[in-house]
Every structure is written in structure tokens, then in C-alpha cells.
Chains A and B, each alone.
Chain A
Amino acid sequence: MANANGEQRPLDAEIAAYQKQATELEASHFGKWVIFKETTLIATHETFEGAAKDAVQRFGRGPFLIRQVGAPPIVMPAIAAYHAAHEKP
């Protein structure tokens, strides 16, 4: 997924691959943590820590995606929400 300027961003391939499989993953692995490398689902884990350990052992600094299946949007804390609204990365 490119940004508003059409530029590729880190993890675009991994996030697109996740979204392609999201329905299936949510049916079978809801709440689990998955690792994607490029377009491939590498592993599923019970915890973020387990996924992080596995991903770093396999790929070092990455890039790789670690995402909880079915994770809702991040709810920004009040102070961060205020700042985020005024300063996007």
C-alpha cells in the first residue's frame, strides 16, 4: 500500500499479504500473533514476545510484520492523540 504520495512504505508487501488472508486467519487464529515476511506467513504464536523472539532469530532486524490477528485500531492516549492530530509522521 503506497502512501498519499504514491511512495512505497516499509511493510507494504507484508501488510498486503496479511490483508489478503485476514478473513481466513481471523476464523482460525483470532487473537494469535503472526509473522509475515514479504508475502509469506512464517509462523503463528500465542504471545507478542514469542513472535518477536522467533522473528528476530529468523530475520534479525527484518523487515518483517508482527501482528495480532484481528487487532483493533490503536486507541491513542489523550496526550498522544492530541499531538498525533497535529503532527503526522
Chain B
Amino acid sequence: MADVKRVGDLEIAEDLPYQQRLWAFQRVSWVVMALIAMGSLLGLFGEGRLSDRTKGDQQNLLWLEYEQFGRYHSTTQLNIHLTPIVSTQQSAQIWISRRYLKGMQVQAIVPEPHQVVANADYLTYYFKVTNSQQPLTVTIDLQTNHIGHIAGEVGRPNQQPLQFHQFIYP
């Protein structure tokens, strides 16, 4: 039971100091809510400038575009850019760490790989290319299946692999 006291003719559990504190708390909270909303517009919770990241030098043979922040059970995109290697091969290959794919469910890969080879730590995707002199971008649509920090590793043969980190909100 709250403390009932007498105010004029009323018996009431009024508590002005508490009420003042509550109003102050409310005003601070409004500012916090506005900040959260602004942060969200900027991409603090995914889909925005604060969230867009690239990894690897664009002059390099391999570089990535991904989102730093994601939300649980929503979709995110990973763009893997391959710059041409002089070769006569009609196939490009990339591998992705299985640890990453455990937390992310692949929904679609564009272009579709013509072959997927699994080993203990990696899945290697093979793509047919008509002209290996041209850059290739592989877009992977992923659904987040993991909450918290997740690390990914992407590589292509004879290249330094790229590691990247994402944070998935619940």
C-alpha cells in the first residue's frame, strides 16, 4: 500500500517530489527515444550509412560489401566483388567459412553457382564466367539465424582471405 496522507480534505497517496522525478525521467526518456529513432534512420540497427561496410581494397582481387548491423530473422546482403585474374579459366571460385553460414541461412546466390564443394571448414562455390577479364559481383541474400556477434571469412584461391564481423540484434 502506498502512503496515504491528508491533503486538504482529501486522503490521497499524492507524492509531489516523486511525481517531479517521474516527469524529469519522462523528458530524458523522450530524448533517448528520439536518439534511438535517429540512430535507426542512420543505420545503427541495420540498413543505413552507419551499417554499410566494405572490406578489402577495391583495387584488390577480392573485396566485400556487407552490413555491420543486422536484426534477428531478417535479411541482409553480402556482395562479393571479384576483380579479374588473368587466366584462361572459365570458372571463378570463392569460399565462405562454414562457421559463418551456420549463423546465416543462404536464401539466394546471384549468379547461381554451378557447383558447390564442401570441406570441413569451408564451402567453395564455383561460378561459370564467359570472360574472366571482367569483374564479377556475387550477391548473397542471407537470413540471420544467430543473435550477437558473428564473424565471417571469404576467400578465393591463392589470395589472402578477408575476415569481417557483424552484429545481429535480437
Do A and B interact with each other, yes or no?
A: no
- Residues on B facing A (Cβ under 8 Å): none
